[in-house]
A and B are shown apart, each in its own frame.
Chain A
Amino acid sequence: MVFSDLFFLFVFLPAVAICYLLAAWLDKSVLSTPLRKSFIARNSILVIFSLIFYAWGEPVYVLLMLACVFLTYLSGRIIGAGGNYKKPGLVFGLVCNIGILSIFKYSSMLVQTLNHFGLDVPDPKISLPIGISFYVFQSISYLVDIYRGDSPVQKNFLRLLLYISMFPQLIAGPIVRYGRVAEELNNRHVSAQDMAEGMQRFMLGLGKKVILANQFSELATQFMGGFSESTATTAGAWIGVVGFSLQIYFDFSGYSDMAIGIGRCLGFHFNENFNHPYICDSITDFWRRWHISLCSFFRDYVYIPMGGNRRHQVLNICVVWFLTGLWHGADWTFAMWGIYFALIVLFEKYVYLKIKPRIWKPFQHIYALMIIIIGRVLFYFDDLSTVGQFYKTLFGGASSTDFVAEAAILNNFWLWVIGIVCCLPLIDWSKQLLGKITGVDSSANNSITTAFQIVASIAILVLSVALLVGATNNAFIYTRF
Chain B
Amino acid sequence: MKKYILYITVMVAVIAAFVVVFNFFPRSEYSELERRELTKRPEFSFEALKSGEYTKGVSSWYSDTEPFRDEFMTLSMQVRAMRALQVGAEEEQINYIAAEPDPELSEQSSESNISPISSVSPISPISPIASESSLEQSEPDLEDRTKITNNGIFIVGRAPNARALMAYRGKAGGGSYARVVNTYKEKFEDVNIYCMIIPTAVEFYCPERAKSATLPESATIDSLYNKLLPSVRQVRLLPVLAAHTDEPIYLRTDHHWAPLGAYYAAQELCRVARVHVPQLAEFEEQVTHRFVGSMYGFSRDISIKQSPEDFIYYVPTNVTYTTTYTIYEIDSAYQVVKEYRPRQGEFFHHFKDGSGLAYCTFMGGDTKITKVETSTKNGRKVLILKDSFGNALPGYLFGSFEEVHVIDGRYFTKNMVDYVSQNGITDIVFANNVFKAYAGGKQYLKFLTQHGSGIYTPRPQPKDSVVVQPDSMQTIIADTISADRTDTLTEVQNGTIFAADSLNNEQTNNKEQTEIIE
A: residues with CB less than 8 A from B are 1, 5-7, 9-11, 14, 55-60, 191-193, 195-197, 199-200, 203, 215, 218-219, 221-222, 225-226, 228, 230-231, 402-404, 406-408, 410-415, 446-447, 449-450, 453-454, 457-458, 461-463, 465-473
Contact = CB atoms under 8 A, between A and B. Distances in A.
Given A228-B472, A411-B149, 7 more contacts: A59-B49, A59-B55, A199-B8, A203-B11, A413-B84, A458-B11, A467-B76
B321 to A, nearest CB: 43
A289 to B, nearest CB: 28
A414 B66 CA distance: 28
Interface string B49-61: 1111001001100
Given A403-B209, A411-B148, A468-B63, A192 B1 contact: yes
Contact of A58 (B19, B52, B148, B209): B52
A199 B55 contact: no
Contacts of A411: 83-85, 147-149
A466 B69 CA distance: 9
Contact of B23 (A10, A193, A473): A10
Contacts of A454: 6-7, 10-11
B240 interface: no
A117 B146 CA distance: 52
B213 interface: yes
Contacts of A410: 84-85, 87, 147
A200 B10 CA distance: 12
Contact of B69 (A193, A222, A458, A469): A469
B473 A413 contact: no
B79 A457 contact: no
B76 A461 contact: no
Interface in B427-476: 470-473
Interface residues of B, number: 59
Given A57-B52, A407-B147, A446-B3, A469 B66 contact: yes
B23, B148, B213: residue with the most chain A Cβ atoms closer than 10 Å? B148
9 smallest A-B Cβ distances: which pairs?
A: A413-B85, A196-B4, A192-B4, A407-B148, A466-B76, A469-B72, A466-B75, A6-B63, A228-B471
A412 B11 contact: no
B79 A193 contact: no
A14 to B, nearest CB: 5
Nearest to B78: A466
B351 interface: no
Contacts of A60: 50, 52
A454 B87 CA distance: 33
Interface string B16-32: 10110011000000000
A411 B18 CA distance: 31
A419 to B, nearest CB: 10
Nearest to A197: B4
Contacts of B6: 450, 454
A466 B84 contact: no
B5 interface: yes
B107 to A, nearest CB: 13
A408 B85 CA distance: 11
Contacts of B213: 402-404
Nearest to B16: A14
Interface in B210-240: 210-213
Contacts of A222: 150, 152, 472-473
Contact of B82 (A228, A414, A462, A465): A414
Given A222-B150, A470-B73, A7 B63 contact: yes
B3 A6 contact: no
Contacts of B63: 5-7, 468-469, 471
A191 B3 CA distance: 13
Given A6-B62, A56-B55, A467-B76, A457 B11 contact: yes
B15 interface: yes
Nearest to A474: B63
Contacts of B83: 215, 411-415
Contacts of B243: none
Contacts of A413: 83-85
Given A7-B58, A59-B52, A231-B472, A450 B7 contact: yes
A1 B50 CA distance: 15
B495 interface: yes
B210 to A, nearest CB: 5
15 contacts: A7-B59, A10-B23, A59-B50, A406-B209, A407-B146, A411-B84, A411-B149, A412-B84, A449-B3, A450-B6, A454-B6, A454-B10, A466-B75, A469-B72, A472-B493
B373 interface: no
Contact of A414 (B16, B50, B85, B148): B85
Contact of B3 (A9, A228, A450): A450
Contacts of B471: 226, 228, 230-231
Nearest to B300: A470
B213 to A, nearest CB: 5
Nearest to A198: B8
